[in-house]
Amino acid sequence: EADIYQTPRYLVIGTGKKITLECSQTMGHDKMYWYQQDPGMELHLIHYSYGVNSTEKGDLSSESTVSRIRTEHFPLTLESARPSHTSQYLCASSGTGEVQPQHFGDGTRLSIL
């Protein structure tokens, strides 16, 4: 049973649109992450948060923004979608402590036409 939820599961949308990918977790985890993953490739960290009102950019900000107003919610927004944003986006969370495994949502497969 999933404790971290991502919506939508799939999205096909045109260039230039503003998109928000939703991620929520019910585990009370302080740390949350957004990754981008292309088929057969490694995960790239886009943004992360260590708690409410805390957000940091990863190696691949990809012209996106995040917010962390509530512990359980960590949405990712693309202000103006481009075909290069086509990818899978994975949200993850981890508990208190510096070494905790990350738990992943099922991902959003995004296609920009």
Q: How far is the CB of 52 from another protein (least distance, A)?
A: 19
Tell the smallest beta-carbon distance from residue 101 to another protein (Å): 4
The nearest distance, CB 44 to another protein, in angstroms, is 8
- 92 contacts 103 by C-beta, under 8 angstroms: yes
- Inter-CA distances, 80 with 17, 43, 83, 111, Å: 5, 22, 10, 13
- Nearer to another protein by C-beta: 64 or 93? 93
Contact positions toward another protein, by CB under 8 A?
40-45, 90, 98-99, 101-107
Let me know if 101 is exposed, middle or buried by CB neighbors in 10 A (0-12, 13-18, 19+).
exposed
Residue 36 is encoded by which pair of tokens?
A: 């981008």
C-beta closer to another protein: residue 68 or 105? 105
Query: Which residue, 70 or 98, has its beta carbon nearer to another protein?
Result: 98
